Chains A and B, each alone.
Chain A
Amino acid sequence: MASQPAPARAGTGVLGWRPGAADLALIALLLIALVGMPVLNALPPDSGLKLPDYMIGVLGKFFCFAMLALAHGLVWGYAGPLSLGHGAFFGLGGYCMGMYLARQKAISAGNELPDFMVFLNWESLPWWWTGTHLAPVALLLIVAVPGALALLFGYFTFRSRISGVYFSIISQAMVFALMLAFSRSELGFGGKTGLTNFSTILGFSVSDQGTRIGVYVATVLALAGSYLLCRWIVRSKLGQVLVAIREAEDRVRFLGYPADRVKLFVFVLSAMIAGLGGALYVPQAGIINPSEFEPAQSIEVAAWVAVGGRGTLFGPILGALGVNAAKSWLTGFAPELWLFVLGGLFIAVTLFLPKGLAGLWPQVRAAVAKRRGGTDG
């Protein structure tokens, strides 16, 4: 009874977190991202502190990965299932955006069909491209398509009580199947090349620095919004139900909660957030192709979350940003080392930081409190 934690605010998730610290850290991070980076970018080139133009795109992509990690961590960290196929949702969201951008390009060139279809001598637009030139339709598809896949996938797996490693393997199979499918040019998504060479988004030229800043800011805001949504869920009683499902799913059913439906709900929501992240990624990367569906990519997402901290919302964001920063730094001079470093990082975190980077702060504080509390017993 000596190690009683501070009384939790009843009705909120405890999970080792004193609520607030993570939120404050995230607010600081987002403010720097939202204001600091564009300001640094706007400095005159000779000032020495200027953030190069291309860095806005790099950071923007990192924040898209952060959305993907947040989405993944909501499912893995709270409800329990380890998805190794979240790249599917990210990629599908990306393709929906890619279709919109490809149509914009065609329209500005006076064509009905995107370039690659002209190249394939296709006569008319396939039906599944209908309406994709309209921004509202594209926006809807960006969340609806990943959401629908997650609904289908989650419905059958959760209903059949598929969990643990079986769930992970099937989710890998799903993303692998998508990679194979999207690599075929008959499917009408540009085959292995994918969709690229975009010109405008919402009427603005994608190569203008102003547009880039706009997409970047939209990404940071989308991340903030997704975080708030996830935070609301995990802080509600539903968040406790999620943790309870992670710990003892059967017991949750015997309490009368519809465990399958609860898992399905967060899984679909997670897919939608991942899809939005993927959509924002495409204009910043300038391309979407089947490599987003590579199984290894989806495994890496789980590594970001593990490194950042499973069971928190801040952790996955931190993990995605940290790991990707390390990756782009290292691949600058020794790309062949990356997989070893990632593997080493993963092992080190598992051994020494079971709660990941996000767990470091509470861990340190607990240690300090313990040392201080040692005198008064």
Chain B
Amino acid sequence: MAEAETPTARAADKLGAFAKAAKPGAAKGEPVKAAKGTLLYLDGITVSFDGFKALDTLSLVVEEGDLRTIIGPNGAGKTTMMDVITGKTRPDVGTALFDGRHDLTQLREEATANLGVGRKFQKPTVFEPLSVFQNLELALASERGLLATLRFRLDPGRRARIDEILDVCGLGDLRATPAGQLSHGQKQWLEIGMLLIQDARLLLLDEPVAGMTDEETAKTARLIHDIKRRHTLIVVEHDMAFVRELGARTTVLHQGTVLTEGSVDAVQNDPKVIEVYLGR
């Protein structure tokens, strides 16, 4: 591979080492190969705000196709971690690689997005005066340049794709409604729909069920199970019932660093976790 002499080569080496350490079974694999399967690689990420460390040598590895849930008390640094991944916040130190070769710490938000990182914010942000359909049209994977956007045509293929996503997130009847008129839950689904139609490889969902009714939460869990078949997902959540429902590998963040990682059951029974989080 030509990447051998690039600045990221060092990181790729580290990545190999990390993969070996993390997964003893895969220890024989050569570093580059390990890097290939790893969609997101964070190592030693530190972010401080006026001396306060929102993230403290955080490390996280997510493989292509994974569904990963991240839990942690308020202020643990979950949102800041997403800010680092999406280029909104620059870490003081640390490595953030996408797909084993893109250095996320050097990219602007739009460049990161165009690599295939999609994000749903904690506070739902849809474009309120635009219709549900138009919101999806904006998110629809297409060339993002100025001229391409000016010349964009909504051909039947694209229209069908939007219809399909409208269906997936159950907003078909509301396609012409301005997004501002949607209920809280509907806005969340629209945002998830926008992520899907963006065709991102890695989807970051920040507290997707916050403020939802139980019924809406259940529907969202089904939606995520549906999505995970085709996308890599990182879901940040508070709601333990929802996390159990997803039943995925779970990372616990506490004070900007990883407290523990494992299955939902293992994490829930971990005394450290009970102390800082569940046993509050």
Q: Taking beta carbons and an 8 Å cutoff, which residues of A are in contact with B?
A: 1, 3-8, 10-11, 14-16, 233, 236-238, 240-241, 243-244, 247-248, 250-259, 261-262, 265
Contacts and interface: CB of A to CB of B under 8 A. Distances in A.
Contacts of B137: 10-11, 237, 240
A256 B201 CA distance: 14
A11 B154 contact: yes
Contact of A240 (B118, B119, B138, B144): B138
Interface string B87-124: 01000000000000000000011100110001101000
Nearest to B135: A244
A14 B130 contact: yes
Given A248-B125, A259-B110, A243 B149 contact: no
B176 interface: yes
Contact of B149 (A3, A5, A241): A241
A250 B137 CA distance: 17
B133 A247 contact: no
A236 B142 CA distance: 14
Interface string B129-167: 111011001110000111001111110000100000000
A251 B178 contact: no
A151 to B, nearest CB: 14
B129 A247 contact: yes
A7 B177 CA distance: 8
Contacts of A3: 181
Given A250-B125, A257-B149, 13 more contacts: A1-B174, A3-B181, A6-B176, A7-B176, A16-B129, A233-B150, A241-B138, A247-B129, A247-B130, A256-B110, A256-B113, A256-B114, A258-B146
22 contacts: A8-B133, A8-B134, A10-B137, A11-B134, A14-B134, A14-B178, A236-B151, A237-B137, A237-B149, A238-B149, A240-B130, A240-B134, A240-B138, A241-B149, A247-B130, A253-B109, A254-B86, A255-B198, A256-B113, A257-B144, A262-B149, A265-B146
B118 A261 contact: no
Contacts of A259: 110
Interface hub of A14, A233, A240, A259 (most chain B Cβ within 10 A): A240
Contacts of B144: 255-258
A243 B128 CA distance: 10
The 3 residue pairs across chains A and B that have the minimum distance between CB atoms: A256-B113, A253-B109, A237-B152
Given A236-B150, A237-B138, A265-B146, A254 B133 contact: no
A5 B133 CA distance: 13
A7 B154 CA distance: 16
Interface string B163-203: 00000000000111110010000000000001000100000
Given A8-B134, A254-B119, A247 B127 contact: yes
B178 A5 contact: yes
A269 to B, nearest CB: 11
B257 to A, nearest CB: 25
Q: Which of A240, A241, A255 has the most CB of B within 10 A?
A: A255
Contact of A4 (B88, B114, B177, B194): B177
Interface in B53-97: 86, 88
A14 B181 contact: no
B184 to A, nearest CB: 15
A247 B149 contact: no
Nearest to B109: A253
Nearest to A261: B146
Nearest to B151: A236
A248 B159 CA distance: 24
Contacts of A1: 174, 177
